[in-house]
Amino acid sequence: MHNIAVIGAGRIGRIHASNAKTDPRIDLKYVVDPIASSADDLASSTGAKVAGLGEVLADPDVSGVVVASSTDTHLEFSVAATAAGKAVFCEKPIDLDLSKARAAATALGSDDARLFLGFNRRFDHNFRQLRDRIHSGEMGALETLHIISHDPSPPPIDYVRVSGGMFKDMTIHDFDMARWLLGEDPVEVYAAATSVVDPAIGEAGDVDTAKILLRTQSGKICVISNSRRSGYGYDQRIEAFCAKGLLRAGNVLSSTVEVWGEFGSQTDALQNFFLDRYAGAYRSEMSHFADILDGATPAVGYQDGISALAIAEAAMESHLGSKAVAIRY
């Protein structure tokens, strides 16, 4: 059993704490949060102790730390935990500032560092199955890729203002999926984006709707479609056009119940919330963290975080300049 600590007792921290509690290889020893009541609540519901970050990092019985605190602390806490010899499971994004994130290369990109960056969609069993089948070659070489990623409804405008913008906050997942499925890094991006969902988002200088084209060195083309609001639930679909046919992963419905009436047939609603849609993915992430604590190499690491962020910055540059932009990793 590996003792771990969860830093951050907010929504995503509570998910990781709960998964840590039920993972057979992990014991949740500490919970850290500057808001005492949040830390206390999570500690009491999980049987963990409340502690400060210093205490956690100094405890030789703690072998891993989950960084689920606010985005602006991801980098700092990951560096500190790595320096203390802990394996780190850090939520995405690694940071909102690419140059700052690059500056941590020595600390986090070294061979000794064990940083696992939580791009949760790689751990969804549907997308994993899709990737396995793309890579099996059963349908021939992958040629083009469509990623549809539309949220049910936009976040509060206060969140939007500190989010770093849609590309770094939301599309970052899709940039990572693109890299993971394409099997190579995009070299150029063209982004057409707008704000039609909520005028306040546009006034805040952000976009809420985008279609993004990525091109790789070998000539593969990827389309990403984003919207902050779908009107029909959490739309998470991927289509991989291969030389011999199409592989695709579809949405997850709330149940298999259908109703047939005069209108036709109607399915149940799409799962509407990312914590439901990716509940299994979050459990699998924790299981992978247990693998890392057992000695495995992180499946997603520092360089993946840098690469996704680099694409996001280039996409913003493309959007602002209305031109294709070469991506600098």
Residues interacting with its own copies, by CB under 8 A? 22, 125-126, 129-130, 133, 138-140, 143-144, 146, 150, 190, 192, 194, 196, 209, 211, 213, 215, 219, 221, 223, 225, 227, 230-233, 235, 241-270, 322-324
Query: Which residue reads 């519901």 in tokens?
Result: 45
Q: In angstroms, give the least distance from the CB of 41 to its own copies.
A: 14
Helix axes 11-22, 279-293, angle to 10 degrees: 60
Q: How far is the CB of 247 from its own copies (least distance, A)?
A: 5
- Closer residue to its own copies (CB): 58 or 326: 326
Least distance from its own copies to the Cβ atom of residue 108, Å: 33
User: Strands 115-118 and 87-91, how do they pair?
Assistant: parallel
H or E element that contains 319? helix 302-321
Q: Between 35 and 269, whose beta carbon lies closer to its own copies?
A: 269
b/e 87-123 (16+ beta carbons within 10 angstroms → b) = bbbbbbbbbbbbeebeebeebbeeeebbbbbbbbbbb
Q: With 0-12 CB in 10 A as exposed, 13-18 as middle and 19+ as buried, what is 1?
A: exposed
Q: Give how far Cα 295 sits from Cα of 2, 134, 156, 280, Å.
A: 12, 28, 40, 23
What is the token pair recorded at 35?
Answer: 């808001």
Q: How far is the CB of 81 from its own copies (least distance, A)?
A: 28
- Respond yes or no on whether the N-terminal peptide bond of residue 155 is cis (omega within 30° of 0): no
Q: Which two tokens stand for residue 60?
A: 């030789």
Beta partners for 190? 213
* Cβ closest to its own copies, residue 53 vs residue 270: 270
By beta-carbon proximity to its own copies, the closer residue of 85 and 199 is: 199
- As a whole number of angstroms, the distance between CA 127 and CA 117 comes to 17
What's the closest the beta carbon of residue 227 comes to its own copies, in angstroms?
Answer: 7
Q: Tell me the HSE value of 82 on the side-chain side, using a 13 A CA sphere.
A: 24
Q: Which is nearer to its own copies, 36 or 259 (CB)?
A: 259
Which amino acid is located at 36 in the chain?
A
Residue among 210 and 312 whose Cβ is closer to its own copies? 210
Least Cβ distance, residue 214 to its own copies (angstroms): 9
CB of 177 to its own copies, least distance (A): 14
Establish how many alpha carbons lie within 13 A of residue 18's alpha carbon, considering only the half-sphere containing its beta carbon: 14
- Choose between 94 and 286: whose C-beta lies nearer to its own copies: 286
- CB of 185 vs its own copies, minimal distance in Å: 16
Give the rounded distance of the alpha carbon of 300 from its chain centre.
Answer: 10
Question: Angle CA(303)–CA(234)–CA(252) in degrees, nearest 5?
Answer: 95
Q: CB-wise, 85 or 245, nearer to its own copies?
A: 245
